[in-house]
Structure 1
């Protein structure tokens, strides 16, 4: 009975101070996705941008005039090559293919 009460007190204390006793991985994944959200109009910083040299490896045709393809934070995007402004977000990619 004492062990049960001690465990209940520990869980209640952890809940009050916002500590999770169970790591389900969901919160950390959601937080990572929230930090790496890629949006149209955003400028792709050089450290976050991988310029695609072989669009066909991603199932894409040639670059459209006035834009190039790239990967920013795991998202396939079309960007303005001069300003690095994201023109469209195409889809998530699992890995860099070129």
Structure 2
């Protein structure tokens, strides 16, 4: 019984010590997403988003990125340092492939 009580006190103390740090991190993350939504920084790119042509760099030579030709009806591009596949008809993101360090084409 005493051992269980000691474990309970240990866990409660640990939660009491770590709680404020976890709360601060949560608040920092929510403030960051609010800043992104207000336009202070670009919103995170997601599959299904419609692209802004000013942010898009079309990839003309996919082999330089280790890619073959894009599937029919889609093209590759780079947006915010991410290699993506998109539909050129409606500028919709079809997939996010990976982060790229620099544009090479």
TM-score computed with the length of structure 2 as normaliser: 0.59
1:60 corresponds to 2:67: yes
- Alpha-carbon deviation of 1:44? 1.1
- Alpha-carbon deviation of 1:43? 0.8
Residue in structure 2 matched with residue 84 of structure 1 by the alignment: 91
Q: How many residues align?
A: 67
Higher relative contact order (CA closer than 8 Å, sequence separation 6+)? 1
Work out the CA distance in 2 between the residues paired with 1:52 and 1:74. 12
TM-score computed with the length of structure 1 as normaliser: 0.64
CA RMSD, 1 decimal:
1.6
Radius of gyration: which is bigger?
2
Unmatched 5+ stretches in structure 1: 1-26
Change (3 A) 1:68 1:46: same
- Tell me which protein shows more helix as a share of its residues: 2
Q: What's the secondary structure of 1:47's corresponding residue?
A: coil
Q: What's the secondary structure of 2:57's corresponding residue?
A: strand
Residue in structure 2 matched with residue 93 of structure 1 by the alignment: 100
1:75 corresponds to which of 78, 82, 85: 82
